[in-house]
Amino acid sequence: MKSILIGILILVSGAIIYIAIPKKSNKHMNIKQRILKAAYPLVMKMSKQNHLNNIKNEKPTTDFFNLKITLNNGAELLMDSFKGKKIMIVNTASECGFTGQYDQLEKLYQKHKERLIIIGFPSNEFGNQEKGSNETIASFCKINYGVSFPLAIKGEVLKSDTQQDVYKWLTDSKLNGWNNQVPTWNFCKYLINENGVLEDFFNSGIDPLGKEVEEGLGR
């Protein structure tokens, strides 16, 4: 019952705020996306935070830098091209209450791009909130949030036979050394250090520009 009331409050509040937003700034969004964008600050205030940290400094048994991904334009991206940088992996969606984090993620990327790479992994697994094609997703992110960091091909991030290889590594302690936590919703964030060691898991409720993330980047 509580979750239903919260959902209603978010939608009503978002609808009210949406009325005051100049349509020109959101002309490439549908009505649901505009409401969710307007409601994002409220969503963050009401969200629980969960942060897992590799406090024992466990090392992976399988080399992260041996992995590769397919980008949403079909190109192949090798993880070993990011040796010496922090890497943040985020599962994303275009019609989620947390979609506003695209803006924070882009700001984080611009702030630390000399030593940080962010890679978004669009997924439709949570609430069917990413129904678009790879082309539609890329256009939405670029036009509405100015996203310039790489986006992977849309795929599976939860454990299954079709789970993307990067997420198999992120969510299996037998591979990464310590973590079995899968994404709990859209916009969960995994932080890997310069040597390919998984250091942190931040759930959706943790702001990409928050102190927890900045502390992780500062290690």
Per-residue pLDDT tens digits for 45-73: 888 999 999 999 999 999 999 999 999 99
Q: What would the mean pLDDT of 193-212 be, rounded to a whole number?
A: 97
How sure is the predictor about 139, in pLDDT bands with cuts at 50, 70 and 90? very high
Domains of the chain, CATH where assigned: 2-46 (no CATH), 51-218 (3.40.30.10)
How sure is the predictor about 180, in pLDDT bands with cuts at 50, 70 and 90? very high
String of b and e for 137-154 (b: at least 16 CB within 10 Å)? bbebbeebbebebbbbbb
Q: Interhelix angle for 31-46 vs 2-20, to 10°? A: 120
C-alpha 12/C-alpha 134 separation (Å) is 30
pTM for the model: 0.86
Considering the candidates 39, 69, 90, 96, report the single residue annotated as catalytic: 96
C-alpha 83/C-alpha 66 separation (Å) is 11
pLDDT exceeds 70 at position 17: no
pLDDT exceeds 80 at position 132: yes
Share of the chain above pLDDT 90, in %: 78
Higher pLDDT, 129 or 14: 129
Which of left, alpha, beta for 185 (phi over 0: left; psi -120 to 50: alpha)? Answer: beta
Q: Tell me, yes or no, if 188 is annotated catalytic.
A: no
How sure is the predictor about 13, in pLDDT bands with cuts at 50, 70 and 90? low
